[in-house]
Amino acid sequence: MSYDFAPLFRTAIGFDRLAQVMDTASRSAATPSYPPYDIAKTGNDSYALTMAVAGFGPEDIELVVQDNTLIVSGRVNDPQNEGEILHRGIARRAFERRFALAD
């Protein structure tokens, strides 16, 4: 569900910043942004999906096609024998992205 905050911009003098914040928050909550991905058209009916999934191995990624939807999910298993981690800069958080497939 999405809300249109455009009328607030015209009628609420002095509250335009609040309306912008609410509008931005509602859009970002509705659209997941992790992990980032690219979709390239490689032919008339073929596409290539590229996802940036740093810290995930092939065994951590699951691809499922269900009800005309491609579901890509990632879950990192417990790290094995990585040694002592001094800094963790790669998120490794679980994710699920859904892509509608063309008929």
> Can you tell me the distance from the alpha carbon of 74 to that of 52, in angstroms, rounded to the nearest whole number?
11
pLDDT at residue 15 above 70? no
Cis before 35 (ω within 30)? yes
> Domain limits of the chain?
1-31, 33-100
Question: pLDDT-derived band of residue 26, with 50, 70 and 90 as boundaries?
Answer: low
* Number of CB atoms found within 10 A of residue 19's CB: 17
Residue 96: per-residue pLDDT: 92
Give the pair of three-digit tokens for residue 56. Answer: 């995930």
- Higher pLDDT: 27 or 49? It is 49
- Range with the poorest average pLDDT among 18-22, 38-42, 68-72, 99-103: 18-22
This prediction has a pTM of 0.61
CA 87 to chain centroid, in Å, comes to 24
Residue 71: per-residue pLDDT: 93
What sign for the dihedral angle of Cα 17, 23, 26, 31?
negative
CATH topology assigned to domain 33-100 = Immunoglobulin-like (2.60.40)
Q: Cβ(99)–Cβ(67) under 8 Å? A: no
Give the pair of three-digit tokens for residue 37. Answer: 């991905």
